[in-house]
Chain A
Amino acid sequence: MIFEYAPAPESRSVVTLRETYELFVDGAFTPAESGEHLTVVNPADESELARVAVAGAADVDKAVTAARRAYDTVWSRMPGAERGKYLFRIARILQERSRELAVLESMDNGKPIKETRDVDLPLVAAHFFYYAGWADKLAHAGLGPDPRPLGVAAQVIPWNFPLLMLAWKIAPALATGNTVVLKPAETTPLTALAFAEICQEAELPPGVVNILTGAGETGRALVEHPGTDKVAFTGSTEVGRQIARAVAGTDKRATLELGGKGANIVYDDAAIDQAVEGIVSGIFFNQGHVCCAGSRLLVQESIAEELLPLLKTRISRLRLGDPLDKNTDIGAINSAEQLERIRELTDTGEAEGAERWSPVCDLPGSGYWFAPTILTGVSQAHRVAREEIFGPVLSVLTFRTPEEAVAKANNTPYGLSAGVWTEKGSRMLWTAERLRAGVVWSNTFNKFDPTSPFGGYKESGYGREGGRHGLEAYLG
């Protein structure tokens, strides 16, 4: 490196945290019946950020009742144009408070401010804007002349994109006339609670949005509550299976956005510098805590020797550290538990014969950190080629022919995302056509947009979020 970066931290002063957060039910912050709380920490330094209430079965019941009442008396009867105006109002407030929310998200999640500021928050506001505009146009969505909302939606979201996942769930549900009870992840509830304040600020009718904090048990109580009509879940495939089983025999509809093991195919004619950038953003964006991460690099054998050194050089230049530093590329791992899982799986990869490489990289003394890692010499049978690591670990495999690339890419129970790098249009389309994945990025990776449907094939779940397709999940 020719020069050193000076620290450029974003100010935390834009965020005012309360010591304790209660549940957001029926338009007001309400203590949990249990009186229990859990502590939310900043994964970058393990400092305590706040205590949040743990919702139990009685709280779930209250929230579902509030959502039902709001659905019956207000929200489902409101003209679509008026519903839309509430969503436009929320989108505007999100934009106005985006700096504060970006900093809060980075503190709560550990992801770099560069990403929360430039990716998460702009997409959150855009998602509300997009679905706001649908609210009075549902008859034109190709789902029949008079599509009806389903009722109360139970929504459970993960910790990797806390506010963005909230937007993906709440915006289409509200636009279509449903009311929601949403449970943010145990480790990242703070931006959802800030969103509850935004609902108050927007004067959204009480009960239309309810936010219940808690852990797995709260989520289970919510998705199994008989008073809901719809379950929307983003998270692990294992929990997705449980939910699919739980809704069997009920009238509930479910959409599930689950795990992935995305293949990123680099052909020998790819623009190699662009491909290297794409591989890096494919796996190291958000510390690899991305269900659609390009966690399996499939590189054509003839260019592997040329590409790998370039990739390693590029990875060596990634800056790992303080998530609030504007120069940081890789932030903290979200929790001690996730860090342990990444360590365990990566060690397994090494034990199974893969060669492990990480750049020289100082990890901060406190907090949860994992250096960007690549594993070469990985075979299809290795656990690191089959299981989702959900961390900054790239498994590298090679192929000789396009047919072999496609066969290897599809050799997984998952089917969420894939990447293709080639300068030849016909080869790109040929490959994209054969990949069994819900999103294919060609000569790019990890791009998201509210108009673009997202969701998986096979065990990556079912249903789509985003775009016109995303409305289908909330209309009967």
Chain B
Amino acid sequence: MAERRDTGKATRAATRATGEGAAPVRLAVRKTYKLYLGGAFPRSESGRSYPVTSADGRHLANAALASRKDARDAVATARKAFGGWSARTAYNRGQILYRVAEMMEGRRDQFAAQAVAAQGLSADEADRVVSAAIDRWVYYAGWTDKVAQVIGGANPVAGPYYNHSAPEPTGVVVVFAPPNAPLLGLTSVIAPVIATGNTTVVVASEKAPLAAIDLAEVLATSDLPGGVVNLLTGRVPELGPHLAAHADVDALDLTGAGEAAVEFEKAAAATLTRVLRPTPEADGGEEAWLDPDPGTSRMTPFLETKTVWHPIGT
């Protein structure tokens, strides 16, 4: 685990100076991985954590093991943030998503190192995945102020009425992130949900959750209001049933729900919660998410159409 953090110049210099086997002059400062709720980084209220290992089985860090109370808190936080975020102008949301890309670009090395350690990618593969993840934020930043024009519009009704339909965010979306694509896959499911003005509670990949928390640090410094994205690390079987059945959740993205997807869809039926079923890339690795133009298919499931009528007359 210390190796994973041996990327700083100071550490490398220290290793060189002291030679093999000796204690470094400066001990690396490790990061405590916590949850991301309401713009803050709390531990799980349960006080639990679980060990996270690299692709080849080395201990990397301990991640917070979120409880169902954390999940409920996350939904409440996301609900509270929905009014403000959905009321931002599309232009402003685009600016903020672009800012996320800027912040991520500045931390390329960190994300690449994480991808190498957690997923066992080669340096080239990791670079490609990180680049694609950054570009995905740019992609959806551009969609924020275009999607309403693409899927909304004027309706030529047969009468003296002004009539138009426009998309609106559905509300709080729970996202089960893809288990085998912890960075690009994660980005690909979060960005479209918030681009359109929804707020979200994300259950990160259980076995590779660290990139999600690294991403949360980027989100926290990108002018994204607290509560728009809330990240839980933990177990889908433990958190999922409560989130799927939660009456204040408006939609589910079941991408990473695995075998529980059907059970969650049934639970969602109780309050007519919208459901995006797992798509073909759900179980794939990062490479399954490389398509640079995923289109509107991950935005429209979390949009409502509002149609407004008004008479025309003098």
A316 to B163, CA, bound (A): 32
Asked whether B308 is an interface residue with its Cβ less than 8 Å from the other chain, the reply is yes
Asked whether A29 is an interface residue with its Cβ less than 8 Å from the other chain, the reply is no
B 126-151 binary contact with A (CB < 8 Å = 1; else 0): 00000000000000000000000011
Contact A249 B265 (CB under 8 A): yes
Residues of B235-284 at the interface with A, using a CB-CB cut-off of 8 Å, are 250, 262, 265-266, 268-272, 274-275
Contact A447 B269 (CB under 8 A): no
The 8 Å CB contact of A256, one of B163, B165, B272, B300, is B272
- Assuming the contacts A248-B266, A452-B163, asked whether A458 and B308 have C-beta atoms less than 8 A apart, the reply is no
Which residues of the other chain, A, contact B155 by a CB distance below 8 angstroms? Answer: 449, 451-453, 467
Contact A453 B309 (CB under 8 A): no
A437 to B153, CA, bound (A): 17
Contact B157 A451 (CB under 8 A): yes
- Assuming the contacts A447-B161, A449-B157, A451-B155, asked whether A441 and B309 have C-beta atoms less than 8 A apart, the reply is yes
Task: Output the nearest chain B residue to A467 by Cβ-Cβ distance.
Answer: B155
Asked whether A372 is an interface residue with its Cβ less than 8 Å from the other chain, the reply is no
Contact A438 B306 (CB under 8 A): yes
The 8 Å CB contact of A244, one of B153, B159, B269, B307, is B269
A439 to B305, CA, bound (A): 8
- Assuming the contacts A440-B307, A441-B309, A464-B305, asked whether A449 and B265 have C-beta atoms less than 8 A apart, the reply is no
Contact B265 A444 (CB under 8 A): no
The 8 Å CB contact of A447, one of B150, B151, B170, B309, is B309
Which residues of the other chain, A, contact B161 by a CB distance below 8 angstroms? Answer: 444, 447, 449
Which residues of the other chain, B, contact A382 by a CB distance below 8 angstroms? Answer: none
B250 to chain A, nearest CB (A): 7
Task: Output the nearest chain A residue to B262 by Cβ-Cβ distance.
Answer: A249
B159 to chain A, nearest CB (A): 7
A 422-450 binary contact with B (CB < 8 Å = 1; else 0): 00000010001001011111111001010
Asked whether A142 is an interface residue with its Cβ less than 8 Å from the other chain, the reply is yes
Asked whether B292 is an interface residue with its Cβ less than 8 Å from the other chain, the reply is no
Contact A432 B308 (CB under 8 A): yes
A337 to chain B, nearest CB (A): 24
Contact B158 A126 (CB under 8 A): yes
A391 to B300, CA, bound (A): 34
Contact B165 A447 (CB under 8 A): no
Contact A245 B266 (CB under 8 A): yes
Asked whether A189 is an interface residue with its Cβ less than 8 Å from the other chain, the reply is no
Contact A467 B165 (CB under 8 A): yes
Asked whether B106 is an interface residue with its Cβ less than 8 Å from the other chain, the reply is no
A142 to chain B, nearest CB (A): 7
B9 to chain A, nearest CB (A): 50
A437 to B304, CA, bound (A): 9
Contact A457 B304 (CB under 8 A): yes
Asked whether B311 is an interface residue with its Cβ less than 8 Å from the other chain, the reply is yes
B279 to chain A, nearest CB (A): 13
Asked whether A413 is an interface residue with its Cβ less than 8 Å from the other chain, the reply is yes
B272 to chain A, nearest CB (A): 5
Contact B165 A453 (CB under 8 A): yes
Contact B272 A449 (CB under 8 A): no
Asked whether B156 is an interface residue with its Cβ less than 8 Å from the other chain, the reply is yes
A272 to chain B, nearest CB (A): 16
Asked whether B31 is an interface residue with its Cβ less than 8 Å from the other chain, the reply is no
Asked whether A461 is an interface residue with its Cβ less than 8 Å from the other chain, the reply is yes
- Assuming the contacts A413-B271, A449-B163, asked whether A454 and B307 have C-beta atoms less than 8 A apart, the reply is yes
A415 to B271, CA, bound (A): 12
Contact B310 A428 (CB under 8 A): yes
Task: Output the nearest chain B residue to A464 by Cβ-Cβ distance.
Answer: B305
A89 to B194, CA, bound (A): 45
Which residues of the other chain, A, contact B274 by a CB distance below 8 angstroms? Answer: 462
A419 to B208, CA, bound (A): 49
B95 to chain A, nearest CB (A): 21
The 8 Å CB contact of B158, one of A142, A439, A441, A449, is A449
A245 to B268, CA, bound (A): 8
Contact B269 A449 (CB under 8 A): no
Task: Output the nearest chain A residue to B268 by Cβ-Cβ distance.
Answer: A244
Contact A440 B266 (CB under 8 A): no
Which residues of the other chain, B, contact A245 by a CB distance below 8 angstroms? Answer: 266, 269
- Assuming the contacts A443-B310, A443-B311, asked whether A451 and B272 have C-beta atoms less than 8 A apart, the reply is no
Contact A440 B305 (CB under 8 A): no
A132 to chain B, nearest CB (A): 15
Contact B170 A457 (CB under 8 A): yes
Which residues of the other chain, B, contact A413 by a CB distance below 8 angstroms? Answer: 271
A151 to B250, CA, bound (A): 28
Which residues of the other chain, B, contact A437 by a CB distance below 8 angstroms? Answer: 306
A258 to B269, CA, bound (A): 13
Asked whether A388 is an interface residue with its Cβ less than 8 Å from the other chain, the reply is no
Task: Output the nearest chain B residue to A462 by Cβ-Cβ distance.
Answer: B274
B242 to chain A, nearest CB (A): 17
B 152-195 binary contact with A (CB < 8 Å = 1; else 0): 01011111010101000010000000000000000000000000
Contact A440 B306 (CB under 8 A): yes
Task: Output the nearest chain B residue to A413 by Cβ-Cβ distance.
Answer: B271
- Assuming the contacts A447-B161, A454-B307, asked whether A248 and B262 have C-beta atoms less than 8 A apart, the reply is yes
B98 to chain A, nearest CB (A): 25
A464 to B300, CA, bound (A): 12
A409 to B306, CA, bound (A): 15
Which residues of the other chain, B, contact A442 by a CB distance below 8 angstroms? Answer: 308-310
Contact B150 A142 (CB under 8 A): yes
Residues of B37-91 at the interface with A, using a CB-CB cut-off of 8 Å, are none
Asked whether A51 is an interface residue with its Cβ less than 8 Å from the other chain, the reply is no
Which residues of the other chain, B, contact A464 by a CB distance below 8 angstroms? Answer: 305
Asked whether A386 is an interface residue with its Cβ less than 8 Å from the other chain, the reply is no
B70 to chain A, nearest CB (A): 25
- Assuming the contacts A240-B272, A244-B269, A461-B272, asked whether A449 and B159 have C-beta atoms less than 8 A apart, the reply is yes
Which residues of the other chain, A, contact B310 by a CB distance below 8 angstroms? Answer: 428, 442-444
Which residues of the other chain, A, contact B156 by a CB distance below 8 angstroms? Answer: 451
A452 to B164, CA, bound (A): 8
Q: A453-B155, A458-B271 are in contact. List 13 more A-B contacts (CB 8 A).
A: A142-B150, A248-B275, A249-B262, A249-B265, A413-B271, A415-B304, A439-B307, A439-B309, A440-B309, A449-B161, A451-B158, A453-B165, A469-B305
**Please, could you name 26 A-B residue pairs with CB atoms under 8 Å apart, sorted by A?**
A126-B158, A142-B150, A142-B151, A244-B265, A244-B268, A244-B272, A248-B265, A258-B272, A415-B304, A428-B310, A432-B306, A439-B306, A440-B309, A441-B309, A444-B161, A444-B311, A447-B157, A451-B156, A451-B157, A452-B155, A452-B157, A454-B307, A457-B170, A457-B304, A458-B271, A469-B151
Q: Considering the complex of A and B, which 6 residue pairs feature the smallest CB-CB distances, nearest first?
A: A244-B269, A248-B265, A249-B262, A449-B157, A245-B269, A248-B266
